[in-house]
Amino acid sequence: MAKYKRSKQELQEQWDAQVRFIQKSVKEFDAGDESEARRIAASLRILFHETKQSKSLFKQLGLPLTFYSSGYLYTPSNLLSSWTLLNIEMGPGVFRYKAALENSSRHFFMTFDDWWNEIIFDDHKNRFTRRDIILFIANQDGGAHVDPELKESYAMLTKMNSLGWSGSNEEAPANNPAYQAIRSIANELIISLNLSQQGLKNRRKQANKKFEMRIVDKAGRRYKWSETEMTYSVETLEIVHKDRVEKRTLYVDEYKNGLKVEYIGN
């Protein structure tokens, strides 16, 4: 018997269902249940993860989405560990990671591959992309499966405070940075989807602004870099130039609702 082939409408219904699941989990997360990050990660994996055996819903549908990147411009030479999607919340009895849902006045959008593989954590021993964090949580940490052992790099990030931040009493932040990053990624997706419904009104190149993606390894981990947008030292430039470069063009996009954003594209 031949395999049943899903219609485009059925695939769209599956996509819409996963987006609804994410929106529901976001509400629970914001009400205090950070373990909802596991459900969010599982849905994000279904939407976007590609393997040789299966295609993501995103690729099957061929959706014309551009992706909001709320992270600041990462510098690989930073002496401190980096987390581009988080803030630290401090107060009386409070020391914790917090998803940076409004991280910058600048709104960068990019292609899926650049967004999916962009570095969002660097603890100076390991670099983690959105893809890495989503798959660690979905595949090992209870999203869809619970492994008896966690990969060392992920365990160091989430259990051993490899980011190295501590409070006034030398205590580590009280919560899981990966879960908060998942909350930020969910926010990026929701913003991307909402804006896609507005429709673009105008796109034009930014003059005299050089943007690149710097590729750091065979897995395709990368970061956005600009010699015209960042302050850097000679030492920083030497480090950056060790990474493979892919040229990008910086555009200004304007949506029909009047919002102006910046798009880093080919």
CA-to-CA distance for 235 and 61, rounded, in angstroms? 44
pLDDT category of residue 104 using cuts at 50, 70 and 90: low
- Residue 116, Cβ neighbours under 10 Å: how many? 23
Crossing angle of helices 36-48 and 177-196, in 10° steps, is 50
Instruction: Find out whether 65 and 190 touch, Cβ atoms under 8 Å.
Output: no
Classify strands 94-99 and 86-91 as parallel, antiparallel or unpaired: antiparallel
pLDDT category of residue 103 using cuts at 50, 70 and 90: low
Predicted TM-score (pTM) of this structure: 0.94
The amino acid at residue 195 is L
Instruction: Find out whether 156 and 73 touch, Cβ atoms under 8 Å.
Output: no
The amino acid at residue 42 is A
What SS3 class is residue 141?
strand
Q: For residue 85, is pLDDT > 90? A: yes
33: which residues sit within 8 A by CB, 6+ positions away? none
Q: Name the helix (H) or strand (E) containing 136.
A: helix 130-139
Tens of pLDDT along 123-167? Answer: 999 999 999 999 999 999 876 677 677 889 999 999 999 998 888
CA-to-CA distance for 257 and 201, rounded, in angstroms? 9
Looking at residue 198, its pLDDT comes to 86
Tens of pLDDT along 172-188? Answer: 988 999 999 999 999 99
Tens of pLDDT along 201-257? Answer: 888 999 889 999 999 999 999 999 998 988 889 999 999 999 999 999 999 998 888
Looking at residue 52, its pLDDT comes to 84
CA-to-CA distance for 96 and 227, rounded, in angstroms? 33
Supply the DSSP symbol for 148: S
Instruction: Find out whether 260 and 252 touch, Cβ atoms under 8 Å.
Output: yes
CA-to-CA distance for 177 and 85, rounded, in angstroms? 10
DSSP 176-215: -HHHHHHHHHHHHHHHHHHHHTT-EEEEEEPTT--EEEEE
CA-to-CA distance for 95 and 107, rounded, in angstroms? 28
Q: What is the mean pLDDT of the chain?
A: 92
Q: And the tokens for 87?
A: 């803030």
* Beta partners for residue 69, in sequence order: 108
CA-to-CA distance for 24 and 33, rounded, in angstroms? 12
Q: Determine the average pLDDT of the residues in 196-204.
A: 86
Q: Determine the average pLDDT of the residues in 191-200.
A: 89
| CA–CA distances in Å: residue 80 to residues 123, 207, 208, 239 | 8, 33, 30, 15
